[in-house]
Amino acid sequence: MRIWGADGALQLDETSFTVRVIYSALVPKTAGRFVDIPISGVTPTKDSCVCIPISPYSTSGQGIDAIAFIPYVYEGYVRVFFGSPAATTGPTGITTQRLLVMRHS
């Protein structure tokens, strides 16, 4: 894809940036509300992350198996919350999810 600005100058094309997966792992629910995963060289200025369910969520309503894991990139590690990062109590997800850490360049 190529995008030009109002002045006709090329703003974005296939050489503007790349994204590559630098880490991929299954993250099972463990004790506590989060888990820290050390990843050498990871930094919030150049990396991002997402957790993806690896099995279908229950269709029987809003069960705790359907609670998303929420990952955050820090210097040298990723913290994966098993539910809301703002909560100190309450339900957490129980379904193993895949963590993908991506580097932008």
How does pLDDT run across 25-80, given as a tens digit for each residue? 999 998 899 999 999 999 999 999 999 988 776 666 667 777 889 999 999 999 99
Say what the pLDDT of residue 66 is.
73
The torsion angles phi and psi of 51, rounded to 5 degrees, stand at -110, 135
Confidence of residue 14 (pLDDT cuts 50, 70, 90): confident
Say what the pLDDT of residue 59 is.
65
CA distance 44 to 73: 5
Burial (CB count within 10 angstroms: exposed 0-12, middle 13-18, buried 19+), residue 2: exposed
Six-digit token string for 16: 């503007």
User: Domain spans of the chain?
Assistant: 17-104
In the chain, % helix, strand, coil (3-state, to 5) comes to: 5, 40, 55
